Amino acid sequence: EMAEEFGDTELRPREYGSLTLKAGRMYHLCRESEIEEPWNIVALAVCSFEQMHTKDGWEFVLSNRVDIENIAWVFENSSSPEEFKERLVELKEQELKHRLGEE
């Protein structure tokens, strides 16, 4: 099974998606609360809740910054769980098209 390595922490694709979703929500909440350094909070939350070393949490956050920002945008621009799900699916479709060179 494909896995991404972050130090001693191994993330499988489903866990990666879940962690990115959680980090996106945390980033959205930080921005909504007008926290000055939202990336510090996001990285610390990832480390805390996923039991990662600080270096590994920062590596995850920085290497997935665009995805986290995109998910935060979906949270900010959805007024219902259904709309959130639709926008998230659209975002994933756009990413897939972009990766396949169709855009």
Q: In the 3-class helix/strand/coil scheme, how is 24-56 assigned residue by residue?
A: HHHHHHHHHCCCCCHHHHHHHHHHHHHCCCHHH
Contact criterion met (CB below 8 Å) for 71 and 20 = yes
Share of residues in the chain with pLDDT > 70 (%) = 83
Would you state the pLDDT for residue 5?
42
Q: Which residues of the chain have pLDDT under 70?
A: 1-16, 102-103
Would you state the pLDDT for residue 102?
64
